[in-house]
Structure 1
Amino acid sequence: MTKDNKNDKTRKGNRGEWSEPYVALKILGEGKLNLSDDDGNTMSDQWLNILEVIRHETFFSEEEQKNKDKVIKYKRSSDNVVDIYIDNKLDISITSKEFLAYATKLKENILKSRGIFSTNDDIESFLDKISLNHIKAKSIKKSDIFISTIDPRTSISRENIGFSIKSKFGNNPTLFNTGSNSAAVYKLTNMNDKLMEEINNLNDDKGHTLVSKRCETLVNNGCQLEFIGFPISIKHGYSIFEENLDIINPRLKDVIDFILRTHFFTSTSTSNVKDMVDILIQQNPCNVTRPKEKYTYMIKSFLYAAYCGLTAGTLWDGKSQVNGGFIEVQKDGNVTASVALESDMFKSYLFKHCYFEWPSTGKKHGNYAYVYKENGEYYFRLNFQIRYK
């Protein structure tokens, strides 16, 4: 396989994907990772010094197929040199100044590009030189990059911390991904086959589902929705999503039901998590005491759990799959980190920056906003996902 063919195969991506090698080059060049507060602002007096960056790469030559995954370590030395080790064997040493120069070049390339793109030959040659074979390294337990650091405030060093990278170069990144298992199921009253057909045919000129119009038609025809829960796993005989939510709080499934109803069946236009919690506090659908404290804590815990690995389709044991936090790439290329170990600040960061989004309808999203019939009963589903602003 020629070098050009390899690059055509492995180094094309969108802005968000190209942010991953950009982060590696920039923090190795600067030798530090700035920290942000719970509003996402860079704290000028707080940072982590970078000792090494670890990436898990996959190679393509016939000989290397025998050992597909290789660990590349980029170790910063005291004399501002980055020593590159492949499976703990020194391969090459390059100045940190050169890493920073190519980080700047890559940022400029990212900002001027659209869609799926490759970089110029100069950057490609440098990526080859440092054995960065892929735009995206192999993701392990939701971590995109692993870093060893020392905190100059405390002199505490930590090795192999896993961070996920969220970039504002591209689309807003997702915290909680939608899926068929996250679609809330409702039983309908006052429904019949004729009305079912009418609602399911409410589409725009391009065939896209008119979700709001379908919900409005349900209300106008006096249909009542009874929340049943979330889809039952055929394999397990119970709802995986509900099991996961129950670890956090048994009331959480009813809170999500309230949020979905509030969005789809009322005039509210908010999608910010914090604003939705304000509505929860005001209306207190679960009739809890101290609603401000309980609903806020409940939602913060859900956001943090989603960050730690909770999904709607896989049973979760409550353990975190990421031990570092987020590295965020700002639109101007500035790179900051929110560290999950400082959990209260990190949860506040999520709470302030996340928003609900309403994904496209279809099978992979549980066929939501579609009336269907089972055993003589009519049902309807609603779904959601959560992104960072």
Structure 2
Amino acid sequence: MITGNKGEWSEIYALFKLLGDKQLFLGNKDIEKLEGLVYPIIKILRSENNGNFEYSIQDEIILISGNEEILKIPISEFKDKALFLLNAIKKNKERTFSIPEIEDFMQSINCFSLKASSSAKTDITIVVHDQRTNQQPTLGFSIKSQLGSPSTLLNAGKTTNFIFNIVGINLTENEIRDINSIASRSKIMDRIVQIQNKGGQFVFVKTERKIFSNNLVLIDSLLPEILSQIVFDFYSSEFSNLTDLVNKTADKNPLNFDIENEHKFYEYKIKRFLTDVALGMMPSKVWTGKYDATGGYLIVKENGDVLCYHIYNRNEFEDYLLNNTKLDTASSSRHGFGEIYEENEELYFKLNLQIRFTK
């Protein structure tokens, strides 16, 4: 029996829904359909552990090839099963669950697992017809579902810690212990406030891991400084949405960019960063800057719509990433941040970067 969580079942839902719709809708920054922009779907490719399968659309029939025999399934069946599956995912309260009626249908169409083969870079690959260019690009997607809990874009780790030097004060061991023992719900913000109240200032030094720093510098040489400001503002203010944090940083203009002509330096650079994270940059691995050329997201909305964001339509993709992400506080004990520590008679404080989708 196949079991999975809401996000995993959403992958199968997306397959059924897209085959039923026969077209791919593009989304805007507010996760609404972009009017007048659709890609007719020619076929969907899916890697299973027992081989690769093609789901080709021909009028009102789906042709499924990959095994010796070619299956022919009416599109209406995919529409019906998509609706049934959507309701089943929404209704279910368990962390993981099975849906026997859907499993039977899956097996009849050579679909044996919820997730595409782990060797595949993408969850689903779609060949579309682009009416603007008259081309048939092959687009690969990761599937993000709003039916479950919001997923992370950048996972926390010691790899994503930013190190700050505390300057302007000398603290006794007792004072350090008192500040580090603050255990309120907003303990990290409260510790920062205490340090500032005593006259301390936070000066960014570096990221904890060199690889992450170099990855950031590869994207933009000033990214470590810009992100350090955004991370600090997150922990020391009420803002968490990236749009707010970027605007706040732009207003302060800590890097003294020439903004006389209203260049959006900070927004532009953060969008580049988010795009690279979305398309493969990981803090712990050397980033070459090469995207998986077929990179993008399919968003399964709560109402069942499936919207596409793709590097092929870069502006919409970047706007979506910036407008639908926020910073999040990970476990400070696990990732080793949020406490004053001493090194070579200097005081330091680490803050962590984790980015999550807002829904």
Instruction: Give the structure-2-normalised TM-score.
Output: 0.90
Give the root-mean-square deviation of aligned CA atoms. 2.3
1:239-296 per-position Cα deviation (integer Å, ceiling 9, x unaligned): 111101111221111111111222223xx32222222222122111011112642112
Instruction: Report matched runs for 1:306-325 at 5 Å.
Output: 306-325=277-296
1:31-76 per-position Cα deviation (integer Å, ceiling 9, x unaligned): 1111223433213422112222222223xxxxxxxxxx52222222
Q: 1:200 aligns with which of 180, 199, 209?
A: 180
Measure, in 2, the Cα distance between the counterparts of 1:223 and 1:180. Answer: 24
Instruction: Report matched runs for 1:246-325 at 5 Å.
Output: 246-265=217-236, 268-290=237-259, 292-325=263-296
The residue number in structure 2 matching 1:230 is 207
Equivalent residues of 1:281, 1:295 under 8 A apart = yes
Measure, in 2, the Cα distance between the counterparts of 1:377 and 1:103. Answer: 60
1:30 maps to a residue whose letter is D
Alignment partner of 1:81 is 2:61: yes
Q: Which secondary structure state, in structure 1, belongs to the residue aligned with residue 312 of structure 2?
A: coil
Specify every segment of 5 or more residues in structure 1 that has no aligned partner in the other structure, as ranges: 1-6, 59-68, 233-238
Q: Report how many aligned residue pairs link the two structures.
A: 354
Q: 1:340 aligns with which of 288, 311, 317?
A: 311
The residue number in structure 2 matching 1:213 is 190
Alignment partner of 1:367 is 2:336: yes
Q: CA shift at 1:139, angstroms?
A: 4.6
Equivalent residues of 1:281, 1:292 under 8 A apart = no
Alignment partner of 1:99 is 2:78: yes
Measure, in 2, the Cα distance between the counterparts of 1:250 and 1:369. Answer: 26
Q: Which secondary structure state, in structure 1, belongs to the residue aligned with residue 25 of structure 2?
A: strand
Q: Which secondary structure state, in structure 2, belongs to the residue aligned with residue 302 of structure 1?
A: helix
1:124-174 per-position Cα deviation (integer Å, ceiling 9, x unaligned): 211222232222213557521111111244432123x21111111112232
Q: Would the alpha carbon gap of residues 196 and 138 (structure 1) be closer, same or farther in structure 2, given more than 3 Å must change?
A: farther
Measure, in 2, the Cα distance between the counterparts of 1:318 and 1:138. Answer: 25
Q: Which secondary structure state, in structure 1, belongs to the residue aligned with residue 36 of structure 2?
A: strand
Deviant stretches of 4+, over 6 Å: none
Q: CA shift at 1:351, angstroms?
A: 2.3
Alignment partner of 1:172 is 2:150: yes
Measure, in 2, the Cα distance between the counterparts of 1:153 and 1:292. Answer: 30
Q: CA shift at 1:90, angstroms?
A: 3.3
Q: 1:182 aligns with which of 138, 160, 164?
A: 160
Equivalent residues of 1:142, 1:322 under 8 A apart = no
1:363-387 per-position Cα deviation (integer Å, ceiling 9, x unaligned): 3xx3111333445544321012222
The residue number in structure 2 matching 1:135 is 114
Alignment partner of 1:150 is 2:129: yes
The residue number in structure 1 matching 2:5 is 14
Between the aligned residues of both structures, percent identity stands at 30
1:326 maps to a residue whose letter is Y
Equivalent residues of 1:82, 1:95 under 8 A apart = yes
Measure, in 1, the Cα distance between the counterparts of 2:340 and 2:315. Answer: 42
Alignment partner of 1:163 is 2:141: yes
2:11 maps to a residue whose letter is E
Instruction: Give the structure-1-normalised TM-score.
Output: 0.83
Measure, in 2, the Cα distance between the counterparts of 1:292 and 1:154. Answer: 31
Q: Which secondary structure state, in structure 2, belongs to the residue aligned with residue 109 of structure 1?
A: helix
Q: CA shift at 1:199, angstroms?
A: 3.1
Q: CA shift at 1:340, angstroms?
A: 1.6
1:192-218 per-position Cα deviation (integer Å, ceiling 9, x unaligned): 4333333333335xxx88222222332
1:87-141 per-position Cα deviation (integer Å, ceiling 9, x unaligned): x643533222111111111000011112423233211211222232222213557
